[in-house]
């Protein structure tokens, strides 16, 4: 069932002193986000991701087109009870403390929440220790986390996260990823924009790629990237130096890492041959990993094709 | 009453603003200085102490209304904190109203604190006073309501500095509107007459709220001089807030 539905959504900004210059930020965008799914809105800077999300939460009004959230338009402020929104590079009231901000956010939803609930959410996003610190002293990652706490405090059904992993270190990104997976399990619908494609690949049920305000591709990762294996990665050890040239002849690449070797090959036949050689030479097989094209690789190829076509 | 969160937030923001502390300290110093003026007052010390203290309360609270009020809306837009608020089930008019009420709550507190300080000055200097001395502060509150609404109105479409300058200019002209009327009557130029009359009838007449002189000189004050400015203040406030809603409603963030 569609929880967010956008049809022919267009946003044109006017700029310049006389407002005569038109900038099309989003162009005839149609989207259907289903209940309980994680949808990733991907695209380069200026693709219209943030503008789309702002229109969904009612911060910007569409020039034309329709948005329905659970059957109602975003201008119906009551519908926003069901939405938790984390803006890109979140800016909060610097004069507030972490705990105060979460409390105030719950008040904005018209809900009285207990201290216990606030502590629970702060614990969930790993901010319990910093609850009494003024927000002006928070790092970018801490602001991102407290922003998530604000999104979660009233347990909304839909979470709209604009670049939720932006500015986070790898550990912080992993924690936020795990949290998003946990929230999906709890039945939340999550729509997020990102330029970190590996994160989108790990999280999203479906993605939509925007370029210059238009949706150019949509589907599951495998529909977009394809299931085709393009390479096998074999990691092994304990093979004598004398046997390595034979392995090297079959492999596309052979790289040493400590006491282990990593061989890559593209064909299934070569893979089988390599495995039997390693076994015959008395080697120890550590792993065999089939590699599919990553979303990142797909994205770069796609963008290059688009640029070349222009 | 979801916008009570906005009221509370605006109040906390202003309360934790260093400008407030600085201006309050300046207010205390101004009032305390009346103790040193007393020997120079040549028998007029009672009037001077009352006048100086009431003027200090007026000056400080107007400055707070203009300086903090001018930043109320624009700062939220500039710092993008508005995203946090308007993505919640809060209507845009609730946001404007919440900002206005939060600021008024602060000004009420400021007038309260300065009035207590005024009471202490009266006690220390042994100047007699009755409850009528509080009337200028009551009308000041309604004058501040217009100033805050003006600052919010300008703040919806200009920068804090411009909003503060515009509000200050209108505050200044607002105290000269009677002179504008007089100018219209005595001027022989039809253009000057039209402009002076136009300004007199379109700008808020803030001099209506100033009864300090009458209170200090113990001139009897008619009932109309109290409740008419109050109604006038409420109407101007509602009008300005309504136009602020209209501008704000059309904005994209």
Q: Is the pLDDT confidence value at A306 over 90?
A: no
Min CA distance, A174 vs chain B (Å)? 25
Residue range(s) of every CATH 3.30.70.1150 domain in chain A: 229-292
The rounded percent of chain B whose pLDDT value lies above 90 is 43
Q: Is the pLDDT confidence value at B153 over 90?
A: yes
Residue A91 to residue B81, Cβ atoms within 8 A: yes
A54 touches chain B (CB under 8 A): yes
Find the residue in A nearest to B18 (Cα): A95
CA B93 to chain centre: 22
Convert the pLDDT of each residue in B52-75 to its tens digit. 889 999 999 999 998 888 888 888
* pLDDT computed for residue B39 by the predictor: 67
* pLDDT computed for residue A156 by the predictor: 93
The stretch A255-264 carries a mean pLDDT of: 88
- Residue A303 pLDDT grade (very low, low, confident, very high; cuts 50, 70, 90): confident
End-to-end CA distance of chain B: 24
Strand partners, A234: A263, A288
A138 touches chain B (CB under 8 A): no
* pLDDT computed for residue B188 by the predictor: 85
Find the residue in A nearest to B98 (Cα): A108
B79 touches chain A (CB under 8 A): yes
Strand partners, A160: A85, A191
The stretch B240-253 carries a mean pLDDT of: 92
B77 touches chain A (CB under 8 A): no
Q: Name the token pair of A175.
A: 């924690």
Residue A95 to residue B16, Cβ atoms within 8 A: yes
* pLDDT computed for residue A46 by the predictor: 85
Q: Is the pLDDT confidence value at B105 over 90?
A: yes
The stretch A123-129 carries a mean pLDDT of: 90
The stretch A213-236 carries a mean pLDDT of: 85
Angle ∠(A167,A171,A175) on CA atoms, nearest 5: 90
Q: Name the token pair of A156.
A: 């909304």
Q: Name the token pair of A252.
A: 């596309």
Q: Is the pLDDT confidence value at B41 over 70?
A: no
Find the residue in A nearest to B90 (Cα): A77
The SS3 of residue B157 is: coil
The stretch A19-29 carries a mean pLDDT of: 89
* pLDDT computed for residue B22 by the predictor: 92
Residue B83 to residue A105, Cβ atoms within 8 A: no
* pLDDT computed for residue A67 by the predictor: 94
Query: What is the spatial distance between Cα B58 and Cα B171, in angstroms, rounded to a whole number?
Result: 12
Q: Among candidates B184, B246, B163, B83, which has minimal Cα distance to A53?
A: B83
Convert the pLDDT of each residue in A149-187 to its tens digit. 999 999 999 999 998 887 777 788 888 888 899 999 999
Backbone phi and psi for residue A140, each to the nearest 5 degrees, phi listed first: -60, -45
Query: What is the spatial distance between Cα B106 and Cα B94, in angstroms, rounded to a whole number?
Result: 18
Convert the pLDDT of each residue in B107-135 to its tens digit. 999 999 999 999 998 888 887 878 888 89
Residue range(s) of every CATH 3.40.50.300 domain in chain A: 2-225
How many CB atoms are located within 10 Å of the residue A90 CB?
27
- Residue A62 pLDDT grade (very low, low, confident, very high; cuts 50, 70, 90): very high
| Residue corresponding to tokens 């956010």 | A105
CATH class of the structural domain A229-292: alpha beta
| Residue corresponding to tokens 């989207």 | A31
The CATH superfamily assigned to A2-225 is P-loop containing nucleotide triphosphate hydrolases (3.40.50.300)
- Residue B38 pLDDT grade (very low, low, confident, very high; cuts 50, 70, 90): low
Min CA distance, B183 vs chain A (Å)? 38
A57 touches chain B (CB under 8 A): yes
* pLDDT computed for residue B221 by the predictor: 84
Q: Mean pLDDT in chain A?
A: 88
Q: Is the pLDDT confidence value at A310 over 70?
A: no
Q: Among candidates A305, A301, A289, A298, which has minimal Cα distance to A229?
A: A289
> Is residue B197 within a helix (H) or strand (E), and if so which, with residue range?
helix B190-202
Query: What is the spatial distance between Cα B1 and Cα B56, in angstroms, rounded to a whole number?
Result: 35
The rounded percent of chain A whose pLDDT value lies above 90 is 52
The complex's ipTM works out to 0.80
As a three-state string, the secondary structure of chain A is CEEEEEEEEEEEEEECCCCCEEEEEEEEEEEEEECCCEEEEECCCCCCHHHHHHHHHCCCCCCEEEEEECCECCCCHHHHHHEEEECCCCCCCCCCEHHHHHHHHHHHCCCCCCHHHHHHHHHHCCCHHHCCCEHHHCCHHHHHHHHHHHHHCCCCCEEEEECCCCCCCHHHHHHHHHHHHHHHHCCCEEEEEECCHHHHHHHCCEEEEEECCEEEEEECHHHHHCCCEEEEEEEEECCCHHHHHHHHHHCCEEEEECCEEEEEECCHHHHHHHHHHHHHCCCEEEEEEEEECCHHHHHHHHHHHHHHHC
Q: Name the token pair of B84.
A: 């946090």
Q: Is the pLDDT confidence value at B1 over 70?
A: no
Strands of the sheet containing A229-237, edge to edge, are: A253-257, A260-265, A229-237, A284-292
**Of A283 and A175, which is predicted with more confidence?**
A283
Within 8 A by CB and 6+ apart from B173, the residues are: B180, B199, B203
* pLDDT computed for residue B18 by the predictor: 86
B192 touches chain A (CB under 8 A): no
Residue B79 to residue A91, Cβ atoms within 8 A: yes
Q: Among A22-26, A175-179, B41-45, B78-82, where is mean pLDDT lowest?
A: B41-45
Q: What is the number of helices (H) and of strands (E) in chain B?
A: 13, 0
- Residue B85 pLDDT grade (very low, low, confident, very high; cuts 50, 70, 90): very high
A77 touches chain B (CB under 8 A): yes
Query: What is the spatial distance between Cα A282 and Cα A243, in angstroms, rounded to a whole number?
Result: 10
Q: Name the token pair of B159.
A: 């920068």
How many CB atoms are located within 10 Å of the residue A293 CB?
16
CA dihedral A177, A178, A180, A186 (to 10 degrees): 170
* pLDDT computed for residue A55 by the predictor: 95
Q: Is the pLDDT confidence value at B155 over 80?
A: yes
Query: What is the spatial distance between Cα B202 and Cα B208, in angstroms, rounded to a whole number?
Result: 15
Query: What is the spatial distance between Cα A119 and Cα A121, in angstroms, rounded to a whole number?
Result: 5
Residue A91 to residue B87, Cβ atoms within 8 A: no
How distant, in Å, are the alpha carbons of B19, B66, B149 from that of B161?
Answer: 15, 10, 16
Find the residue in A nearest to B91 (Cα): A77
């Amino acid at each position: 069932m569609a929880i967010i539905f956008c049809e022919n959504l267009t946003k044109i900004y006017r700029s310049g002193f006389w407002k005569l210059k038109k900038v099309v930020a989003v162009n005839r965008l149609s989207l259907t986000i289903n209940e309980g799914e994680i949808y990733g809105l991907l695209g380069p800077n200026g693709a219209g991701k943030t503008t789309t999300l702002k229109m969904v939460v009612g911060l910007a009004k569409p020039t034309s087109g329709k948005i329905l959230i659970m059957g109602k338009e975003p201008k119906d402020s009551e519908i926003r009870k069901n939405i938790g929104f984390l803006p890109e590079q979140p800016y909060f009231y610097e004069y507030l403390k972490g705990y105060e901000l979460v409390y105030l956010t719950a008040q904005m939803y018209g809900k009285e929440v207990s201290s216990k609930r606030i502590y629970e959410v702060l614990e969930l996003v790993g901010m319990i220790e910093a609850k009494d610190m003024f927000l002006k002293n928070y790092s970018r990652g801490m602001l991102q986390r407290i922003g998530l706490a604000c999104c979660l405090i009233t347990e909304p059904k839909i979470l709209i996260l604009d670049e939720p992993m932006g500015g986070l270190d790898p550990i912080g990104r992993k924690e936020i990823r795990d949290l998003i997976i946990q929230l999906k399990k709890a039945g939340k619908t999550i729509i997020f924009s990102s330029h970190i494609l590996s994160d989108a690949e790990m999280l999203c049920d479906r993605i939509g790629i925007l370029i210059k305000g238009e949706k150019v591709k949509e589907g599951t990762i495998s529909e977009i990237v394809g299931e085709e294996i393009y390479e096998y990665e074999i990691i092994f050890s304990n093979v004598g130096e004398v046997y390595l040239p034979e392995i090297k002849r079959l492999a596309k690449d052979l790289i040493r890492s400590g006491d282990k070797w990593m061989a890559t090959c593209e064909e299934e036949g070569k893979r089988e041959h390599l495995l039997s050689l390693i076994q015959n030479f008395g080697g120890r097989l550590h792993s065999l990993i089939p590699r599919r094209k990553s979303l990142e690789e797909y994205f770069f190829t796609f963008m290059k094709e688009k640029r070349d076509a222009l | 009453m979801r916008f009570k969160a906005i009221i509370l937030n605006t109040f906390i923001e202003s309360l934790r603003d260093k400008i407030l502390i600085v201006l309050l300290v300046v207010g205390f110093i101004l009032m305390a200085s009346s103790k040193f003026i007393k020997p120079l007052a040549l028998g007029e010390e009672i009037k001077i102490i009352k006048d100086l203290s009431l003027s200090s309360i007026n000056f400080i609270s107007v400055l707070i209304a203009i300086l903090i009020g001018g930043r109320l809306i624009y700062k939220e837009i500039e710092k993008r904190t508005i995203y946090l608020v308007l993505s919640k089930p809060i209507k845009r008019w609730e946001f404007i109203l919440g900002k206005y009420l939060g600021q008024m709550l602060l000004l009420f507190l400021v007038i309260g604190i300065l009035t207590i300080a005024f009471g202490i000055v009266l006690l220390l200097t042994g100047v007699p006073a009755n409850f009528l001395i509080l009337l200028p502060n009551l009308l000041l509150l309604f004058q501040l309501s217009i100033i805050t609404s003006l600052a919010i109105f300008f703040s919806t479409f200009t920068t804090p500095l411009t909003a503060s300058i515009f509000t200050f200019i209108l505050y200044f002209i607002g105290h000269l509107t009677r002179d504008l009327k007089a100018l219209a009557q005595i001027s022989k130029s039809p253009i000057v007459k039209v402009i002076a009359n136009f300004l007199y009838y379109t700008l808020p007449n803030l001099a209506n709220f100033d009864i300090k002189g009458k209170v200090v000189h113990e001139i009897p004050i008619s009932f109309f001089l109290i409740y008419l400015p109050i109604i006038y203040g409420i109407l101007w406030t509602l009008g300005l807030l309504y136009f602020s809603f209209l501008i704000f409603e059309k904005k994209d963030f």
